Amino acid sequence: MDRVYEIPEEPNADPISSLEEDVIRGANPRFTFPFGILFSTFLYCGEAASALYMVRVYRKNSETYWMTYTFSFFMFSSIMVQLTLIFVHRDLAKDKPLSLFMHLILLGPVIRCLEAMIKYLTLWKKEGQEEPYVSLTRKKMLINGEEVLIEWEVGHSIRTLAMHRNAYKRMSQIQAFLGSVPQLTYQLYVTLISAEVPLGRVVLMVFSLISVTYGATLCNMLAIQIKYDEYKIRLGPLEVLCITIWRTLEITSRLLILVLFSATLKLKAVPFLLLNFLIILFEPWVKFWRSGAQMPNNIEKNFSRVGTLVVLISVTVLYAGINFSCWSALQLKLADRDLVEKGQNWGHMGLHYSVRLVENVIMVLVFKFFGVKVLLNYCHSLIALQLIIAYLVSIGFMLLFFQYLHPLRSLFTHNVVDYLHCVCCHWHPRGRVENLEPSFDVEARQSIV
């Protein structure tokens, strides 16, 4: 059974049910203009052009190190983007020399965007006509707190357009966390130590910041889709706004703290940051090794063990890149075919934010007490306080989303309040026992007397 994520906003269900199951027949899905594909392509081209422009400026000014790092971050993310699109579309098994050539010159997203637009225009011209090739898709949906199974027909063209959308969603995450995050961090660092803000660097940082925010927002949406693959997910404007504010505050405060910490300690900060990244990178592999499970061999058809290992390493690198700057909203599980833990793990989320909060406080304190006054003309204490408050506010928006705005919060066995209540109850009885011990000793002494 084929699956597609693009389904109508309203089910418009007919009261026709099958005899064996309570299946509601939904209306055929409507195709919408691929705004997300155009926006992702625009971000990719804008960030690439501004990065190459800054490489030219650094080369002209004989700033070799700045040029090398800027070009390296651009090349690494661009290559990973091309590989992601080729993998999702399975181009290696198809005869498409033009597409492969465009990927070879790092313009794969452009040709894919043109293909999606052509597919959309074809659907628009044939609107109202029945397609000869269709497939049935079923998903659950919560209506008035009750699960309803909805079935609808999906045409081949609509399924192809949906595949383009899903490919660009994953591409945006690759670009955001493997390219835009290191690029934005490094350009902020260069700006801080050089005390110059040229227009080209500002444009590059703006594109990188938008790319990171967009990728982090999509990360939450894709995490919900992966965890609840059997359900029809619908996010309203309020939910998207809450996620965007949460992710923007979390990432900007985290990256600014990393930049200030690096500018304060210079090369001495590299071992700390590298160790932090390596711990995140090898954590899933250590859990996989301790579990004694076998490597999954059914991730993709016709994949050898080497191909499977390459995919697992790529997924792990992306997972580490996401968790280095923000919470990934998923817990990687290499022994599973889906590669993720589908349960709502409050403990993993709480541990991540607790560790990151301690790290941020330590790095901010290092900047406050050891930061050079020449770096900024502002009060270091005020900057440190504002960054920590911004990170705490992002945690508040995260808790708000999971407690009140999550589209499938009714399926949670425990919500945020329950988890916090359990943590408080874990400490409260211990405090009561400690408080009762002195009174018991006094009563014992009185009885002995």
Q: What pLDDT, in 10s, does the model give residues 30-46?
A: 678 889 999 999 999 99
Return the pLDDT at 372. 63
* 217, 243 contact by CB (below 8 A): yes
Quote the CA–CA distance of 6 and 29 in Å, as a whole number: 7
What are 378's two structure tokens?
Answer: 């502002």
Range ranked top by mean pLDDT from 21-30, 138-147, 335-344: 335-344
Range ranked top by mean pLDDT from 297-301, 328-332, 386-390: 386-390
Return the pLDDT at 119. 87
For residue 24, the SS3 value is strand
Predicted confidence band at 416 (pLDDT cuts at 50, 70, 90)? low
The per-residue pLDDT of the chain, averaged, comes to 81
pTM: 0.82
Return the pLDDT at 392. 96
In a 13 Å sphere around the CA of 94, the CA atoms on its Cβ side amount to 11
Predicted confidence band at 343 (pLDDT cuts at 50, 70, 90)? confident
Return the pLDDT at 15. 39
User: One-letter amino acid identity for 334?
Assistant: L
* 177, 217 contact by CB (below 8 A): no
Higher pLDDT, residue 418 or 310: 310
Higher pLDDT, residue 34 or 442: 34
Return the pLDDT at 347. 83
On the question of pLDDT at 139 being above 70, the answer is yes
What are 76's two structure tokens?
Answer: 């690494």
Q: To 5 degrees, how large is the angle CA 149–CA 155–CA 160?
A: 105
Quote the CA–CA distance of 144 and 315 in Å, as a whole number: 37
Return the pLDDT at 421. 65
Q: Which of 384, 375, 386 is nearest to 191 (CA)?
A: 375
Return the pLDDT at 414. 66
* 359, 276 contact by CB (below 8 A): yes
Q: What is the mean pLDDT of residues 242-251?
A: 94
Higher pLDDT, residue 373 or 119: 119
Rounded percentage of the chain residues whose pLDDT exceeds 70: 78
Predicted confidence band at 10 (pLDDT cuts at 50, 70, 90)? very low
On the question of pLDDT at 3 being above 70, the answer is no
On the question of pLDDT at 129 being above 80, the answer is no
pLDDT per residue over 157-171, tens digit each?
778 888 889 899 999
Return the pLDDT at 426. 57
On the question of pLDDT at 303 being above 70, the answer is no
Quote the CA–CA distance of 267 and 252 in Å, as a whole number: 22
* 138, 63 contact by CB (below 8 A): no
Return the pLDDT at 448. 32
Range ranked top by mean pLDDT from 282-286, 306-310, 333-337: 282-286
Return the pLDDT at 300. 61
On the question of pLDDT at 55 being above 90, the answer is yes
Please list, in sequence order, all residues whose beta carbon lies within 8 angstroms of the beta carbon of residue 12, skipping any fewer than 6 positions away.
26, 27
For residue 227, the SS3 value is helix
On the question of pLDDT at 191 being above 50, the answer is yes
Q: Residue 238, exposed/middle/buried by CB under 10 A (0-12, 13-18, 19+)?
A: exposed
Return the pLDDT at 427. 54
Q: Is the dihedral of CA 374, 376, 382, 388 positive or negative?
A: negative
On the question of pLDDT at 6 being above 50, the answer is no
What are 396's two structure tokens?
Answer: 């508040």
Quote the CA–CA distance of 329 and 349 in Å, as a whole number: 8
Higher pLDDT, residue 309 or 175: 175
User: One-letter amino acid identity for 338?
Assistant: D
Return the pLDDT at 415. 66
